[in-house]
Amino acid sequence: MDILFVRELKVDTRIGIYDWEREVNQTVLVDLDIAADVRAAAQTDKVESTINYQTICQHLVAHISASEVELVETLAEQIADIIRSEFGAAWVQVTVHKPAAVRGTRDVGVRIERGDRLP
């Protein structure tokens, strides 16, 4: 299985369970691992032969910045659904980081996998 990946897609959004979090934008970071067969893209050297991570990133930035969910779990599930349903990935691993959300930590978040890892 081949993996396309994105690391630390940075998006400002409203996310959180506390009243103050609902009033300010916070930065989330998104990591993606997407199962894809890249052989056709390698042979044709054409982006149309693969899942375009630039298009995915643009779509996710628009979605995340407009969303106002409370939980990183909800956001991760939405992202996984977008990757699978709109971009045709059979499997995706999504990590949503919420840096400095908990005092005394550098980072907290959630990592989920959805779909079948092996085609």
Q: Is 32 helix (H, G, I), strand (E, B) or coil?
A: strand
Q: Residue 96's beta-bridge partner residues?
A: 30, 110
All residues at 6 or more sequence positions from 22 whose CB lies less than 8 Å from its CB, including other chains: 14, 16, 68
Out of 36, 89, 91, 98, pick the active-site residue: 98
Among this protein's residues, is 98 annotated catalytic?
yes
List the catalytic residues.
98
